[in-house]
Structure 1
């Protein structure tokens, strides 16, 4: 049976890249030279405006077109992108030196004024960026640009210790003045002067392919602690493909150089010495309840508990990952600092007790098509408990738009979590804090004042133990309230054919590090 999973095949941090082909890839002849890399997406990007990126495919293309101030490096460290130096004065005050050689794709210098204008739009609640609360929390930022000294000073109205990490998010990428002057064209990818990154969008054919061209004038490559080897591709070609089995087949047939698999198709690359493999398991899955007035679970913790009593995380994990994942005890994986390890906080399975509560309850389930079989498992478990269930599996873009806007059109969301930052607050903000309709990441609609106060206290803490204690209090709060039901990790494998490479930083995959080594 083919098990599908949510995350984008070529997504940053989430989806694993597979660089391969018959015995290599579309460019598999080790003696041949090429300037093109062929890759896969799961679906069409929803927008080429990085600030509005929401889905995994958006997170893949944004770093190619737009540079961030900081980038991820090995060991959880940060390295300069458009910023050459940076300083955290305290949790509320930061200073960044902007490198002097960076230019937009139309030749416009990327000055502190350009940076501050782009960050100001990113930070504005009216913009509605899903990354805003990750970078700033609930704080209001102020940006002061000084072109003479080349610096941008940032002041937050409240402390948020993840601010610098937030500047490595795709959504925080710098949009050049031409893009800010034409937001409609920016979203469509048609403003050629909008780009601050290494590539420009050459052509876009939805459902067919997207072509990117390397800029001849680009020189702002990061100085990673371990230098990149090889040559950047002059051309990147993305093809939307929605099935892992199809992606694996095309990789092995030589039609693709890069792709990704997370289910039983991983075994198709086992013991093949024509490939190198990397694995990442920070991606998690969990059930989120819609607690807005008018939904089935609003003000009904006993009903939410009953759902938790019916769902077996191990069975769910086996279905979505071909038994490669493992159950989790929070919304983050065991690899993330300060994650819950207290099994007593997890609602134990008790289908018989759940049936007494769920009988006849109407429940609408939504999830992404890359978790279709997991969605169906959840639906069937609830039906066995007597619930009247409707389940819909939507493509990534439609699913993200539906669950990310608020509203009362769903009751349960089977969430696939791309933790781009690799931090616990990134996932905790899905279940507490400002709701999606107010510019936050919280899809449940329930702020959870106690939990969010603990999360905020942790983000203001300097001492590591104090921060973890606060984060564990926040986790205990949402688990006791049953705002979410932890399910499982979804491991991805990165496979690189001879002649190609891409850099993985811990659990984070950076598409702008794709190199040709022939």
Structure 2
């Protein structure tokens, strides 16, 4: 198979963004930015966000208590101060003067009500496991003191970072009173963030308008320069193949690339490049009863042996990606780098096990070349492979279901920049139980080690149990690491966006002189 670049897509919050603004001649007015999504958002209830398109829009519409800054540090959002007295006890001081989109003052009670709904297992937010593990939360407000206190039933030292997730966006009272309208985006007073949703036409466009009264921008360590657009319009466009040409011709102002097209901008001073590596790819197996991979680590290992991670990286990223030895990139703290724990590429050994085995592979069309490579090498090993290529929304829904698939190439957005974020894809509560675990079974050994790490406040001391968690996952072949997928954001003169280590924050889009 010839190497083909992965086009810039909304598969992840890293690779999703393509903007147009008249600052460089592409837009309709000097105060507008047009951006693309890979597909329609699944809704506008931040607690129920499931995919990158949801995360992008929710970040614009809803503020969170905290935000991520450079070096994975935290900065205030709706909270101006925060304190962890232990791995299970937290206090936040809420910003004075913040308001909802209908003018309602955002009080500690409003914050506590919204977070209590997010933390309720009945809400089934996929961000809940990330933010607080399997714990329950007692969230109380003190309006007189201006604080919100959170007491978790179990330690979870990633909780503060969890409060940066778009899932934790504060929903105002009008939205909580009308959950169906909130999901549909029709409740004008639901929003706590800088923009409101003023027009939604599925498959056509989503128009967001800057609030005149908004003044709660985070104070990042390096200030965001430029002027927020008065109007941001997101248009669902899956095909990104022409983005480089459009950017070079002035039709758009910002695009993200994970393949060779980015080389067209090398040496051109009219464009600025910034690279991030927060997206990883790995094989995930459905281990629920009824799947061919249930109770069969030998078969899962054979699949891992059939797929050459280096060849996969070349096909998917045109050689720009690096192989990985865990489910996170090498830049994440405590990540495993020991290749000896992997099944290892061995086509002959794989064929001895895979010959005649029927496998249903599903994949997002945004990882098309990589998915096709996996399907072909499994067929070459003798497996009978059926492959369904789905748009990102349907792929997310399918792999979030207990049945209808055997394996997938997972494109993993590390929303928190922590190893926990990715490990919960392959251990801990399953998606049908409100968690992130796609394989369906709880790896008790790995999850116990992960919980041990989350009881430790000192990040350096977390690495030993984190290594134990990864070792268990790799030995059981619950996942098979493939490659990191670097994304280069290219901006033309007139529009900017900030990157924070491996994270791109869409709310930092600015029109600049």
Q: Check the 8 A contact 2:243/2:255 in 1, yes or no.
A: yes
1:435 equivalenced with 2:430 (yes/no) = yes
| Residue among 251, 258, 272 paired with 1:255 | 251
Give secondary structure in 1 for the equivalent of 2:190.
Answer: coil
1:487 equivalenced with 2:488 (yes/no) = no
Q: Check the 8 A contact 1:9/1:260 in 2, yes or no.
A: no
In structure 2, what is the Cα distance between the partners aligned to 1:7 and 1:113? 41
1:200 equivalenced with 2:196 (yes/no) = yes
In structure 1, what is the Cα distance between the partners aligned to 2:476 and 2:149? 40
Please list, as runs of the form range in 1=range in 2, the aligned pairs for 1:447-462 lying within 5 A after superposition.
447-462=442-457
Cα drift, residue 29 of structure 1: 5.1
CA offsets, 1:171-204, max 9 Å, x none? 0110111111111111111111100000011111
Task: Indicate the residue corresponding to 2:440 in structure 1.
Answer: 445
Q: Check the 8 A contact 1:432/1:451 in 2, yes or no.
A: yes
CA offsets, 1:260-307, max 9 Å, x none? 222222223222211111000121000000000010000001111110
1:320 equivalenced with 2:316 (yes/no) = yes
In structure 2, what is the Cα distance between the partners aligned to 1:262 and 1:154? 40
Structure 1 residues 282, 293: CA separation in 2 closer, same or farther (over 3 Å shift)? same
CA offsets, 1:194-245, max 9 Å, x none? 0000001111122222111000010111111111211111011122221231
Structure 1 residues 430, 400: CA separation in 2 closer, same or farther (over 3 Å shift)? same
| Residue among 406, 410, 416 paired with 2:411 | 416
Q: Check the 8 A contact 1:9/1:261 in 2, yes or no.
A: no
Q: Check the 8 A contact 1:37/1:258 in 2, yes or no.
A: no
CA offsets, 1:125-149, max 9 Å, x none? 1111110000000111110111111
Q: Check the 8 A contact 1:303/1:358 in 2, yes or no.
A: yes
Task: Indicate the residue corresponding to 2:15 in structure 1.
Answer: 15
Cα drift, residue 6 of structure 1: 8.3
Please list, as runs of the form range in 1=range in 2, the aligned pairs for 1:91-102 lying within 5 A after superposition.
91-102=87-98
Give secondary structure in 2 for the equivalent of 1:244.
Answer: coil
1:468 equivalenced with 2:469 (yes/no) = no
Cα drift, residue 408 of structure 1: 1.8
| Residue among 233, 238, 256 paired with 1:237 | 233
Task: Indicate the residue corresponding to 1:3 in structure 2.
Answer: 4
Consecutive aligned runs of 4 or more in structure 1 exceeding 6 Å deviation: none
Give secondary structure in 1 for the equivalent of 2:189.
Answer: coil
In structure 1, what is the Cα distance between the partners aligned to 2:302 and 2:71? 40
| Residue among 318, 328, 343 paired with 1:332 | 328
Aligned length: 511
Q: Check the 8 A contact 1:6/1:416 in 2, yes or no.
A: no
Contiguous gaps of at least 5 residues in structure 2: none
CA offsets, 1:344-376, max 9 Å, x none? 101122211211211111100011111111111
Range moving further from structure 2, 432-441 or 257-266: 257-266
Q: Check the 8 A contact 2:313/2:322 in 1, yes or no.
A: yes
| Residue among 376, 387, 411 paired with 1:380 | 376
Q: Check the 8 A contact 1:10/1:17 in 2, yes or no.
A: no
Cα drift, residue 17 of structure 1: 4.0
Q: Check the 8 A contact 1:285/1:490 in 2, yes or no.
A: yes
Task: Indicate the residue corresponding to 1:71 in structure 2.
Answer: 67
Contiguous gaps of at least 5 residues in structure 1: none
Structure 1 residues 292, 6: CA separation in 2 closer, same or farther (over 3 Å shift)? farther
Give secondary structure in 1 for the equivalent of 2:126.
Answer: coil
In structure 1, what is the Cα distance between the partners aligned to 2:294 and 2:470? 20
Please list, as runs of the form range in 1=range in 2, the aligned pairs for 1:51-62 lying within 5 A after superposition.
51-62=47-58
Give secondary structure in 1 for the equivalent of 2:324.
Answer: coil
Give secondary structure in 1 for the equivalent of 2:83.
Answer: strand
In structure 1, what is the Cα distance between the partners aligned to 2:111 and 2:139? 9
Please list, as runs of the form range in 1=range in 2, the aligned pairs for 1:400-411 lying within 5 A after superposition.
400-404=396-400, 406-411=401-406
In structure 2, what is the Cα distance between the partners aligned to 1:117 and 1:38? 34
Q: Check the 8 A contact 1:86/1:94 in 2, yes or no.
A: yes
1:271 equivalenced with 2:272 (yes/no) = no
Give secondary structure in 2 for the equivalent of 1:245.
Answer: coil
Cα drift, residue 5 of structure 1: 4.0
Please list, as runs of the form range in 1=range in 2, the aligned pairs for 1:6-155 lying within 5 A after superposition.
8-9=9-10, 11-12=12-13, 14-15=14-15, 17=17, 26-28=22-24, 34-155=30-151
**Length-normalised TM-score, structure 1:** 0.95
1:478 equivalenced with 2:479 (yes/no) = no
Structure 1 residues 315, 437: CA separation in 2 closer, same or farther (over 3 Å shift)? same
In structure 1, what is the Cα distance between the partners aligned to 2:101 and 2:225? 24
Q: Check the 8 A contact 1:16/1:492 in 2, yes or no.
A: no
